[in-house]
Structure 1
Amino acid sequence: MHGSCNGLICLSNEWTDTIYLWNPSLGKLKTLPNSPDIESRIIYSDLDSYSICLAFGFHPKVNAYRVVKIWCLVYKIIKPYKYQLLIDVYSLSTDSWRRIDVAPSCYLFNQNPAIVNGVAYWVAIKETWEGSCYLLLVRFEMGDEVFEEVMLLDGVKNCCPKIAILGERESLYLFIFYHLDKCWDIWTMECGKTSCWTKRFTGNFHDTPAKLLGLRKRGELLLQNHEGHMLSCNIET
């Protein structure tokens, strides 16, 4: 499953070459047309690895459902970049795909993004001309179909903590776990304010949180550890 919105659920097969939109309340399943041929744009012998990310969401401003398919390429030799994104966007209203030609040179970590108000967010890594790497967020505006890089906090982007993101209500939640200190922080960023982070919680866990599950109405953040046990913390109090 690659996301749900307004009763529609986005699904795919294991290789993501067949994508579906399912409306369980109506019992209808739509198979999307094939995305544009990617083979002509990739020389596999030049690649060290690749992965595929899918995002599904609804943008209220343009009243449109979109599916975003991203190929994340990692090259063996930097020429002129190590990472590259190839993007195709499907629109339900036209039942067709189109190519996005302008994208940041980075690698996306989380295959399923956090989505807030029709904007998809991924945790990414980018390489500088000097060869060093740093972490950042990449956002894709499904209405304008434009990418934007979102800088992380100075103490986070140049180290290697575990990072997860969650989109709930009008905010993006950033979860940071510091392996050496055995502590974790939660920061929030209001939708549209891409440089304004607010620290909401700091905790210490003997059980390392592995996954963000969601946010309940009373401000309780639900997490899951590596053994599958549920954890809860209230970030409003």
Structure 2
Amino acid sequence: MNNPIWIYNPSLKKRVTLPRTSLSWQLLPGSSMSWRPLFGYGMTLAFGFHLGVNDYKVVRKVSIDVEELLSAVEIYSLSTKSWKTVDVIPPLIKSMKWVCGYGMCNGVAYWTMSNQKDYLVSLDAGNEVFQEIQLPEGIAGGIKSVEEYKESICLLQLNKDGQEEHINIWILQEKSFKNLVTVGFPGMSLTPLGFRMKNELLLELHEKDSKGSDLAIYNLESKQLTQTGIRLVKNYYDAYYVATYVESLVSYSWIRRKNFKLL
């Protein structure tokens, strides 16, 4: 639970190691001094800038049982260089099981979670307020990731229709989801990886009867698929992920100055 966590700035090629959190096995709900989870624990980390509070935030969600029920949430502030445990978690959200995917958009962290019904759960890293939005029926099982697209949160869902596969992109608009686009190509197996630019979706492309996979780019506006020629090497987990970032010249040493403003 206390493995090192870094914030890395690719523009400056510098990193900062976050302090250890205040959480321990003994402090988690339902635990005792001698208790440790038999199956370990699940953890997600979301990082982003919160314009409302003018600060960079890390949101850490911890689940300690095999059911992946939400156990605790902490928020790290880069300006104060400290962790804070979120004290108030609504009972409905606390009883939910994490399904898949997590992300951050405009300082708000998101997870897909389930409790008989499926939800997108959010936590504002500024005011520490949770919200939940029910997902359209039947989409949760195929969700591969939670992403930011044009300053809105969206879900990348993989569907199988017989022998064919296609990807649905669901975008959150005014507390409801709209199916933005469906991507599919006959004879090809697709896995969504994330967005590269404003209108480009990175895909792991598997051609039938072919070993291995390739990296491809789908333009949502022109609806053109471009094969990059980049072969994706299989690893132990057989999974790839894409993360995007906005270039910043903010360094941790600047933030340590008392009167420094992030904007």
TM bucket (normalised to shorter chain) is 0.7 to 0.9
Aligned in 2, Cα 1:63/1:45: closer, same or farther, shift over 3 Å?
Answer: closer
* 1:139 Cα offset (Å): 1.3
Aligned residue pairs total 205
- Corresponding letter in the other structure for 1:32: L
**Residues of 1 paired with 2:159 and 2:132: CA distance?**
23
CA RMSD of aligned residues (A): 2.7
- Residue 46 of structure 2 corresponds to residue 66 of structure 1: no
TM-score between the two structures when normalised by the length of structure 1:
0.73
CA deviation string 1:109-131 (max 9, x = no partner): 446x322211122222x23xxxx
1:179-218 matches, within 5 Å, as 179-181=160-162, 182-190=165-173, 193-195=174-176, 197-205=177-185, 206-217=187-198
**Residues of 1 paired with 2:10 and 2:144: CA distance?**
33
Aligned in 2, Cα 1:84/1:165: closer, same or farther, shift over 3 Å?
Answer: closer
* 1:54 Cα offset (Å): 1.0
Deviation beyond 6 Å, 4+ runs, structure 1: none
1:1-237 matches, within 5 Å, as 17-42=3-28, 43=31, 44=35, 50-74=41-65, 83-103=69-89, 104-105=93-94, 106-110=96-100, 113-124=102-113, 126-127=114-115, 133-157=116-140, 160-181=141-162, 182-190=165-173, 193-195=174-176, 197-205=177-185, 206-217=187-198, 219-225=199-205, 227-236=212-221
Q: When you count strand as a share of all residues, which structure comes out higher?
A: 1
TM-score between the two structures when normalised by the length of structure 2:
0.67
CA contact (8 A) 1:186 1:199 kept: yes
CA contact (8 A) 1:224 1:231 kept: yes
**Residues of 2 paired with 1:169 and 1:231: CA distance?**
20
Runs of 5+ consecutive residues of structure 2 not aligned to the other structure: 207-211, 223-263
* 1:180 Cα offset (Å): 4.5
Query: What SS does the corresponding residue of 1:201 show, helix, strand or coil?
Result: strand
CA contact (8 A) 1:116 1:169 kept: no
Among all aligned residue pairs of Structure 1 and Structure 2, give the percentage whose two residues are the same amino acid: 31
* 1:24 Cα offset (Å): 4.4
**Residues of 1 paired with 2:86 and 2:121: CA distance?**
15
Runs of 5+ consecutive residues of structure 1 not aligned to the other structure: 1-14, 77-81, 128-132
- Corresponding letter in the other structure for 1:156: I
**Residues of 2 paired with 1:223 and 1:87: CA distance?**
31
**Residues of 1 paired with 2:190 and 2:21: CA distance?**
36
CA deviation string 1:166-217 (max 9, x = no partner): 1122222222222354333222124xx222x222222334333223221434
